[in-house]
Amino acid sequence: MAEEAAVRAQAETVRRLKQDKADADEIAKEVAKLLEMKAQLGTDEGKHKFVLKTPKGTRDFGPKEMAIRERAFKAIISCFKRHGAEVIDTPVFELKETLTGKYGEDSKLIYDLKDQGGELLSLRYDLTVPFARYLAMNKITNIKRYHIAKVYRRDNPAMTRGRYREFYQCDFDIAGQFDPMIPDAECLKIVHEILSDLQLGDFVIKVNDRRILDGMFAVCGVPDSKFRTICSSVDKLDKVPWEEVRSEMVGEKGLSPEAADRIGEYVQLHGGLDLIEQLLQDPKLSQNKVAKEGLGDMKLLFEYLTLFGITGKISFDLSLARGLDYYTGVIFEAVLLQQDNEHLQEPASVGSVAGGGRYDGLVGMFDPKGRKVPCVGVSIGIERIFSILEQRLEASEEKIRTTETQVLVASAQKKLLEERLKLISELWDAGIKAEMLYKKNPKLLNQLQYCEETGIPLVAIVGEQELKDGVVKLRIVATREEVNVRRESLVEEIRIRTSQC
């Protein structure tokens, strides 16, 4: 019995071992399968981790968004052309050293390309530095140009408010040695025209001058070496309250509390010609050479803006600083005012939609002999404008067409693909915008539905009887009216009928 028990125990052990082995094989097989699947996926992370998305802070523009975008671009470009601008384009990346030392504290937001051998490159951060590089490189001392292209900033995106890492800038700049404030005034006129044209609601264009800021810093007791960094602090005033900005100045940047308080008094001021006059009388500011220059030019600017009839939307605002290092004179920024009548609030700013200023030293930074080319320019912040236009369109339920197709070439019976191909080819060759369904034998109903969905106004219907008679049946989608048109008159008929709508 003991033997039997021993045999049975042994058998049980063998069975268990076999089972273990089988289990192990099974597991090994499973692992191999998984490894194979992983290898097929071609990445180290496996399919479950494959993310189908655009990079952080970027987005696709589908046909509907593109239709809105092109509408906005059209308004902007036609304004730039109205002011006689030429157009240029530059590469999306520049030598890294071209961008170095131009953006102050914001330089950390520049996208660098990987060093794959060869030159070190960075994506452009704005269109202004490439423009200055272009002028110096080609020894151009005189140009009025616009440039519409994408720029890149590794910022924290806030996409619902139109803040992206890849975004369009629409820049208009005037380079050259001219009489004071005439080009500067034109830049403000352009902002005014574009914002009015796009009907984005009420707006204000804040204006200041780096020379007034510098003079103000000097008379407030800011050491020269701290001008730029204190300027960066002031720049935050549109987002954070004065108390926070003050504590940054004193705590982080080592400014004396007294100097900060003196700045605090100035940066509350905003107004028009009256404020300029008042500051020209200011016992401290009027003693400062650069401030006086800046105030004198600001007065001249307001005179020109009066001739343009746009001072109603302009505010001389001492809190406006602008972040970038390269500005040397007039600076400005346009903000939309919230229109929230229901809540009866004070008009609040919903963010900047355009900005710019004078940068007389930037081109000289690129010129081997330091030759300066004075420049002034404006940049339209189109992404925020897109966001507003998109939201408005969504709310309005207006149906926006995404194609311009004038006519669908359709057939009423089967086996007419060849006839459709022949007819559509004739229409294309005559410059008519035409589509057809890519099916051998589509149903007439489906073809008509396609027109309803996409807004195609006309249908050219090929049928056996019509072919015999040498005519095409032209259907007007909106009215469901149908007329027979002689084939040789079809192009003309389509042109007439679509020029009306």
Are the CB atoms for 482 and 459 separated by under 8 Å?
no
Closest CA to 375 of 127, 27, 22: 127
Nearer to a second copy, 42 or 241 (CB): 42
Length of the chain: 501
Per-residue DSSP letter, 238: G
CB of 134 to a second copy, least distance (A): 5
Is 141 annotated to bind a ligand? Reply is: no
428 binding a second copy? (CB under 8 A): yes
Binding-site string for a second copy from residue 477 to residue 496, where x marks contact by CB under 8 A and - marks none: --------------------
359 binding a second copy? (CB under 8 A): no
452 binding a second copy? (CB under 8 A): no
CB of 89 to a second copy, least distance (A): 4
Q: Which of 72, 85, 212, 490 binds a second copy (CB under 8 A)?
A: 85
Q: Which two tokens stand for residue 160?
A: 């619902």
214 binding a second copy? (CB under 8 A): no
What residues numbered 30-49 form the site for a second copy, per CB under 8 A?
Answer: 42-43, 45, 47
3-state secondary structure of 335: strand
Nearer to a second copy, 369 or 468 (CB): 369
150 binding a second copy? (CB under 8 A): yes
Q: Which stretch binds a second copy (CB under 8 A): 155-163, 239-247, 313-321, 426-434?
A: 426-434
Q: Which two tokens stand for residue 436?
A: 């057809």
138 binding a second copy? (CB under 8 A): yes
Q: What is the 3-state secondary structure (H, E, C) of 272-298?
A: CHHHHHHHHHCCCHHHCHHHHHHHHHH
CB of 95 to a second copy, least distance (A): 6
CB of 324 to a second copy, least distance (A): 15
Per-residue DSSP letter, 104: G
Nearer to a second copy, 243 or 429 (CB): 429
372 binding a second copy? (CB under 8 A): no
CB of 381 to a second copy, least distance (A): 18
Nearer to a second copy, 188 or 353 (CB): 188
Q: Please tell me the distance from the alpha carbon of residue 187 to that of residue 208, in angstroms, as a whole number.
A: 14
3-state secondary structure of 312: helix
Q: Which of 76, 185, 249, 461 binds a second copy (CB under 8 A)?
A: 185
Q: Please tell me the distance from the alpha carbon of residue 501 to that of residue 476, in angstroms, as a whole number.
A: 11
Q: Please tell me the distance from the alpha carbon of residue 143 to that of residue 135, in angstroms, as a whole number.
A: 9
CB of 43 to a second copy, least distance (A): 5
Strand order in the sheet with 458-462: 434-435, 407-411, 458-462, 471-476, 482-486
Nearer to a second copy, 432 or 448 (CB): 432
Is 438 annotated to bind a ligand? Reply is: no
Closest CA to 374 of 135, 177, 144, 172: 177
333 binding a second copy? (CB under 8 A): no
438 binding a second copy? (CB under 8 A): yes
CB of 277 to a second copy, least distance (A): 20
What residues numbered 273-332 form the site for a second copy, per CB under 8 A?
Answer: 304, 307-309
Is 199 annotated to bind a ligand? Reply is: no
171 binding a second copy? (CB under 8 A): no
CB of 366 to a second copy, least distance (A): 6
Binding-site string for a second copy from residue 189 to residue 208, where x marks contact by CB under 8 A and - marks none: x---x---------------
Closest CA to 330 of 343, 341, 317: 317
CA angle 203, 350, 310 (to 5 degrees): 10
- Residue 244's CB is within 10 A of a number of other CB atoms, namely 13
Q: How many CA atoms lie within 13 A of 360 on its CB side?
A: 14
- What is the amino acid identity at position 197? D
Q: Which two tokens stand for residue 169?
A: 């800038």
Q: Please tell me the distance from the alpha carbon of residue 31 to that of residue 29, in angstroms, as a whole number.
A: 5
Q: Which of 4, 398, 404, 481 binds a second copy (CB under 8 A)?
A: 404
Q: Please tell me the distance from the alpha carbon of residue 262 to that of residue 257, in angstroms, as a whole number.
A: 9
Q: Which of 38, 71, 226, 433 binds a second copy (CB under 8 A)?
A: 433
Closest CA to 475 of 485, 466, 467, 465: 485
CB of 236 to a second copy, least distance (A): 24
- What is the amino acid identity at position 254? G
Alpha helices (H) in 173-312, listed in sequence order: 182-197, 210-220, 227-235, 242-247, 257-266, 273-281, 289-308
CB of 362 to a second copy, least distance (A): 13
Q: Which of 111, 141, 269, 270 binds a second copy (CB under 8 A)?
A: 111
Q: Please tell me the distance from the alpha carbon of residue 27 to that of residue 32, in angstroms, as a whole number.
A: 8
CB of 127 to a second copy, least distance (A): 12
Nearer to a second copy, 24 or 87 (CB): 87
Is 58 annotated to bind a ligand? Reply is: no
Is 126 annotated to bind a ligand? Reply is: yes
Is 322 annotated to bind a ligand? Reply is: yes
368 binding a second copy? (CB under 8 A): yes
183 binding a second copy? (CB under 8 A): yes
Which residues are part of a known binding site?
A: 126-128, 153, 169, 173, 322, 326-327
